[in-house]
Structures are given as C-alpha cells and as structure tokens.
Structure 1
Amino acid sequence: MLSDETYPATVGQLSVWRDIEKMPPERRWEANLVFVWDLPDGAWTEDDVWDALGRLGMRHGSLRTRYRIDAEGFPRQWLAAGTAEEVRDQVRQGTAEVAARETMETAELQRAIDATAELPWRAWILAEAGTPRQVLVVVNHLAADGAAMLLMRDDFERLLRGEALAAARGPLEMALDQQGAGSGRLRTAERYWRRTLDAAPPLAPGAPQGPPLGATLHTGIPMPLAHEGAAKHEVSAASLVLAAYYAAVREVTGERAQLFYPMSSNRYDDEHAAVVTSLNQWTPLLLDLDSPFGEMLAKVHWKSFTALKHGVCSPDAILAIRSEHERGGGDPGYYYNPILAPPGFPSEDTVAAPSVEHYAPARATGPGFYVIARGLTSLDLIVRVHRPGWTQASLDRVLTLTQSMLAESFGGHPL
C-alpha cells in the first residue's frame, strides 16, 4: 500500500517548477519533452511494450512520482504508483500508426502534463501493419532531462529483452542529501553566482523588441570530425562550439565582455550519472577575452569547466541574486545548451554543405537568446531569440561567423 508521505523536491526539480510557474497556463506544455524510440529487433507484442514501460517506472522513482504543493509554494515529491501495473495503466495512451508520427509528436508535445494530478509522463505505441515499431514518449521536465531520457531508452530496451533491473537511485535520496550533507555545495554555488554577476557588464541601453526569431544552422560537420577538431586543440567539442558562439557575439555586438549561461548537466560522477530526474541547471560564465579565436579556445574550455562545477544551486537563492543584479542594469546573458553525442557514437562520416533554415519559434517562454548545439550524427545549432536589439540580419551574422570559426577549427568549409 502506498504511503501518503511526501519528500522535498531536489533543486533541479524546484528549478523546473519555478520555470513552470512563470508560464501562462496555455503555455505549460513547454515543460514537455518528446522522444520517439525505435524498438530493437524482435517480435514484440503490444503487451510486451506496455509491460516494459511499467517496469521502467518501477526502476526509476521519478517516473511514478506526482507533486504536491505545500503552503509555502514548494513542490514535494509523492510516490503515486506502487506497482508496475499501476505505472503501465497510467502512462498507456494507446496505439497509432507509424505514418502519424510527425502529427502526433506535435500534438502530444503541446498537450500539457499536470504533474500534480497525473504521473509526469505518457506513452503511445506506433505500429506498422499491426506490429509495434516505435514508442512515442512525452515527459514533463520535472521528471527527466535530455540525459535522463537516454537512460530511460536504454533501460526500456533492456527490460523489453527480459533483463531484471533493480530499482535505481532516485531523486528522493538526492533531495534528502541536498537538505543535509550536500547543502554546502549549494552555498558555494551562490557565492560563485554573486561574484560572476557582480563582474558582468551593465545592460546596454534599451532597444525596441522585435519579433521572435528562430534559425537552425546545419553546419554539415560530422560529429567524428567535430570531436577530432576539438581534440586537436585539447578541448571538448562543447567548449569549441561555445568559444565560436562567444567570438561571434563579441564581433557582432562590438562588446568584448559577455555573460553566458551554459547548461550544466550535473552528471559528472557515478552517484548522479544514472539518475533519471531533472538535473540540468544554468550556471553563469563571464568571458572577456581579446585573443584570436584559436588562442582563446583553452581559456574558454577551462573557464566553462569551472562554471559547470557550480551547476547545482538553489533556484530561489539564485533568483534573489539575479534580481538584484538586473535591478542594477545587469546583462541578461546568452544561453547555451550542448547536446552532443560522445566520441564513438554511430554518426555521419561525410562533410556536407552548410545551410541555415529559418523558422518561427513555437515556444514563447525561456531565455531571450538561446543556442542548442545538437550533435547526434552531425552538428546543428538551433537558435531562438526574443530580445530587444536583435534582427534577422544580426542573428544571421552571428551564425555566419560561428560557422566560419567552426570550419577553421575542423578543417571544414565556409558558410
């Protein structure tokens, strides 16, 4: 029988919750992540798939957790499903045709999950000629981040094949640690935030707000070449892209000192690497470099390494620090989220011609200037901008310069 006991949220969960609170009710679907998993080779029935999803929920506590809001407005974790069958029945949505995948991805992404009233994920089977081929999974960001989704997919495949997997460490244990022995790390992060923002440049004079801008830079650079180029400079691929991003913004704005917010995965040790929950948090990074691009790479790499060590922080404490900084005219910063497959991941092996694709952003909340470096087979930069002073022409100039510097480092091609 399930207990009615609740537990504190982790700082990662609280960070997501605070973002959700800022969203208008009709935009709360923006807290969703959607993925489609191909089923591994095998003669799988629908019951096989649903049962594996139920057992996946039993392995990872965050997948059978709902949230209750206390009198002070803090979410608390509550285990709302106690058996694999309960998880299965609550997340099961039904079966659709593989041909409907694209339409369903959009529709399911934009159907909000209320994690106070239901489990924070749901799933559909996509079938072809009556045979299950894929699983469409939608997760509220409270329960998982991008790295956690990869863990979920791998565990799902193992469970589908019949492996017995024990319960994994979950966010309940993590939250209790953060309330106790791990609280010192939170205080250290707060001091780092304050030092960094105090040193950041003031906000430039106001400019009119333009329309939301969206663009995807398809660099045409295969990920093996990206990792090879980064290794040549003894930096990570994520640091190399960040350095190109910074150098491009520096050139277009004419301002050397720039505040960045790289995303910290907070998965740098064995204790956290395999936890399915939301661990991602922003961390500030002040870059003020006057050297040519090739010479700045190592400095950007090690400065970002230092910043990412301070990724675990209390969002409420950080909000107070940021509010104080912004009242003093502080810069809102440039956001960066690298989602890059590691070396050795199956990938493209041929350089392609680069291109830029413009689009109208569907999301209306979140960072004002946001670059996602997505590299599974080849490297793409997905950019969303809704910040005063930026136009399509200035954004395109940033992308052109970024491509040029990446091509130089990778031995590639001009935009």
Structure 2
Amino acid sequence: MAAFVRHRVPFGGRRNVTAPATCAQRHIWNLMQRQLPDAAFYDVCYWVALPGHGTAQDLLDVFAELLGRHESLRTGFHRDADGSLVQQVVEAGKFEAEVWALTRDEDPDGVLHAWQGRMRHTPFDSARAPLIRFMVAVVDGAPVLAAFCVSHLAVDLTSVRLLADEVTQLLDARAAGRPLPPAVPSRQPVEQAQLEYSPRGRALQARARAFWCRQLASAPASLFPPCNGAGGGLTGPVRYSAGMNSRAVALAVPVLARRWRVSTSVVLLTVIAQLLGRRAGLSSCALRLLTANRSDPELRGTVANLHSEVPVTIGLEGDRIEDIARRAFATCTTAHANGLYDPDEVADLIASAHGPDVPVDLSYCFNDVREGHALPEAAEGPVEVSGAALRAAMADTVVAPDDFEEGETFFLVIDDEQPGWNRLVLNADHRALTPSEVHGFLYDMERSLVAYAEEAGARAAGAEGHGRPAHPTRTSSPEAAGPRHAHRTGLSE
C-alpha cells in the first residue's frame, strides 16, 4: 500500500527584505479576502510527469533550489501599521514535501488526486512563507511524478508552467551529475513594486485608469439581470460547470483567425461576446480578460503573481462578423497594454461607472490558457478545412459536468492540453444560465465557429474560382501542452 514520509526541507536565498505589495499581489489579496473563510480557493495544484531517473533526494534538492531562485516562493504577506499590504521575503526557512513510495501496481494518479484533495482543504497562512508545498511519487526508488500546491499570491499560470519546466531540467542535470542550468535573469516582485511606485509606474497606472474609464463608459450595466428574485427559486448549489472537448473548435479557430486577420483568442472571444449579446438583447458586451503582464522582457522568466484582469467592451453592431472581430482585436490589444493598474482604484471606478453608486457588472470572464495564442500568420493547424471535416469532427464532441469552481456570474476557460482538441469549461450562476443552458451555450459556441468557418471556406472557394490563388492545405496539429495541468482552471496566463 502506498505510504508517504513528510519532510521539512531547508532552503536558503540571498536576502531578507520587506517591500510594498505589487498591484497584482494586492489584487489577488483582495479576491482572497472576499473568498474567506475558504482561503484555499486561490491555491493552485500543478503536476509534472517525470522520466523515472534520479532519486527522491535529488528532487527535494531541486525544490530547495527553486525556492532559492524565486523570491515569490519564499514571500509572506501582512498589513503594516498604516494598513497597507506588504510583501516580506525571507532568506531561509523550511518547506514541506511528501515523498510517496509506490509499488509498480499502484497508480500515481490516485495518490496525486488524494494529495490534491487534502491540499484543497489545507489553506496557507499568508503571513508565513513559504506559500508552497510539494509531493513526489516514487516507484522502485525513482521519482515518476512531482506536484506542488502554491498560493496564487505567489504565482500565475505562466509561473507554474515555468516551475514545471525547471523541475524537469534541474532533475535531469542533478541525476546526470551535471552542473545545474543557471536561473533565467528576471525581475523579482520587490523590484516590480519599486517600478510601480516610480514615476514611470505611476504614469502607466494613470494611462490604465483612463482606459478603464473608457471601457466602463460604454459597457452595459449587466448581461444577465437577476431573475425570479434573489435566489431564482433554486435550492442546492447555485453554480454549475460543464466542459466541452471539441476537435471541431480546434479545427475552426485557426482557419477563422487567418480569414479574419485576428488572433485565435479573439476569434473565441468574438463568438462568446456575440452569443452573450444576443441572449441579453444588447448591442455590446463587456467582459474581463484574465492575463499576465509579461510584455516587458525582464518579466518573461519571472516566477511570480503578475495577474491582472482587463476590461473589454465589444461593440456587436454590423453585418460582418469579421468586422466585429477586428474591432475586438484592436480593443484587446489596447487592453493588454494597460494591464498595470491600481486594483483599489479600479474597484471604485466599477462601483460608480454610470454615476454615483451605479456599478457595472463585470462578472463575465474569458480566460484563454492555451499555450499558443498565435496570430494568423503563425497559427498552427490547417489553412482550410472542409465543411464535411468540420461536421465529422462535431460528432466526436463531448460535453459533461466539470468540477471547476469560480465565483463569477459567467466564467469561460479554454485550454489545448490534448493535441488536436480544444477544451472549453464554463462555470455559471444558475440565475444567469441553468445547467442545461450551460451545455447549450457550449454547443452554440461550437456550432457558430463551425458555421463561420464553412462560410469563410465558401467565400474563399468563390474567390479562387475567379482567379485568386488557393492556399496550400496543412494538416499539422497544435503542439501538445505536456503531461501537466493546473488544479484551478481559472488561473490566468
């Protein structure tokens, strides 16, 4: 029977330092306070399969190396005498790791799921670093799986992907007796806070504030007015999630991205906005895009919480869907350039967007966590797909209940972990969408994308029949995201 030993492993870094919290840290802190007492809701579990070489001690050494390299992993948070949130980086301490010894007949996935379940109900004390725990599954003395649970105060989705890659690279080097690869130079959260309080940082936040004001001014007050009273006449859980696995969506999206000359994310966002707008009978739709601010080269390799949520108000007027998509693309590009903002100031803007005490409901979220957000010229996948191929792919679509949890009215996540497929997970409040309507919305997304792709193909065929050159067909599949995933699908890119 599988058994584990809990270790308290020492780690060491370069400095003890206290600094103001960053904008992203304050944003997640605010979300966590609203979620209390369920503080573990914003903890993230992530895992990576290992090739089965090295030892458990090698992996414990790798974990200690990660904490030494990344200050966010050994940072705690508290309020100072003035009530301001501060980050406290500790130089040394100990972290917790469980090493599970399995026989060849035992399933590492079962051990992982049980560990994740315990972590889901074991919140961190945010004042006490480190805000991360580890587990290792070992078969015949060699680690075959590693996982970590970490607070969203310390990481975003890009960060956990970086950590997973580092685990495999560092373990390979240690197991082979090679020097460890050096850490990627990157800005630490303390320096990010210094930038945000600098004149340049203040100017960026002022620009973002103006962008928020423009988006909120044109946003509808709500897309889903409450129905049937405050509770909608419902008993039991008031939220429901379903997931769709679709080959047809994965085929249609890159085709439309090329035809509409927008990113693949904007293709998906445009169709979502159109469906929401039609349902509400509105000519515009406002959503929050979850993103990580990594356009600055110094942040590309940073392991930290750089999370932000930027608003986009998408106008739905016009007969041509590609025109709506191009306007959405322009708005999204501007939104991502304005991801550094004061979360408290933005909360005040939302609360009085249409006048004193007249808020805008921005509880509609779009989170594209696919590893490839390519523009048309770089997008993977076929340039054209026949209508017959798209319809055949639709026959493989599966929609089923999902255990994804969120606290918004409408929260849709897209990932591409399985090559050749897209997975769309929708969590919604029953007062907005009943469980059957959640399923229906996902199917409507797929049908819309397929119909638009067929229409684009018909236009292309007509143009080619009048002498325009045809594009060669490619059949490559989207690249695999690797054998790992986040426990909370809502974690931002």
TM-score over 0.5 (shorter chain): yes
Per-residue deviation at 1:329? 4.8
Q: 1:232-254 CA distances to partner (integer Å, 9 max, x unpaired)?
A: 43211111111111111122222
Residue 239 to residue 205, structure 1, CA distance change in 2 (3 Å) = closer
2:344 is equivalent to residue 316 of structure 1: yes
Per-residue deviation at 1:22? 1.0
Distance (Å, rounded) in 2 between the aligned partners of 1:131 and 1:142: 32
| Amino acid paired to 2:334 | T
Does structure 1 conserve the Cα–Cα contact (< 8 Å) formed by 2:285 and 2:316? no
2:451 is equivalent to residue 408 of structure 1: yes
Name the residue aligned to 2:473. Answer: none
2:208 is equivalent to residue 189 of structure 1: yes
Name the residue aligned to 1:152. Answer: 163
For 1:16-415, list aligned pairs within 5 A.
16-25=28-37, 27-39=38-50, 41=51, 43-82=53-92, 86=93, 89-95=94-100, 97=102, 98=108, 99-162=110-173, 163-166=180-183, 168-180=186-198, 181-203=200-222, 205-207=225-227, 208=229, 209-210=231-232, 211-221=238-248, 223=250, 226-291=253-318, 292-325=320-353, 327-342=357-372, 351=393, 353-359=396-402, 363=405, 366-377=407-418, 378-386=421-429, 388-410=431-453
| Amino acid paired to 1:370 | F
Distance (Å, rounded) in 1 between the aligned partners of 2:362 and 2:400: 26
| Amino acid paired to 1:284 | P
Does structure 2 conserve the Cα–Cα contact (< 8 Å) formed by 1:369 and 1:387? no
Q: 1:187-230 CA distances to partner (integer Å, 9 max, x unpaired)?
A: 11112112221222234654233421211122224757643542
Does structure 2 conserve the Cα–Cα contact (< 8 Å) formed by 1:151 and 1:276? yes
Does structure 1 conserve the Cα–Cα contact (< 8 Å) formed by 2:47 and 2:164? no
Distance (Å, rounded) in 1 between the aligned partners of 2:167 and 2:83: 34
Residue 61 to residue 223, structure 1, CA distance change in 2 (3 Å) = farther
| Amino acid paired to 1:79 | V
Give the unaligned 5+ runs of structure 1: none
Residue 333 to residue 78, structure 1, CA distance change in 2 (3 Å) = closer
Residue 282 to residue 388, structure 1, CA distance change in 2 (3 Å) = same
Give the unaligned 5+ runs of structure 2: 1-12, 103-107, 174-179, 233-237, 382-388, 456-493
Distance (Å, rounded) in 2 between the aligned partners of 1:175 and 1:224: 42
SS state of the match for residue 130, structure 2? coil
Identity %: 20
Distance (Å, rounded) in 2 between the aligned partners of 1:170 and 1:48: 26
Residue 360 to residue 263, structure 1, CA distance change in 2 (3 Å) = closer
Residue 205 to residue 23, structure 1, CA distance change in 2 (3 Å) = closer
RMSD of aligned alpha carbons: 2.8
Distance (Å, rounded) in 2 between the aligned partners of 1:381 and 1:57: 33
Residue 345 to residue 34, structure 1, CA distance change in 2 (3 Å) = farther
Higher mean displacement: 58-67 or 158-167: 158-167
| Amino acid paired to 1:319 | A
SS state of the match for residue 182, structure 2? coil
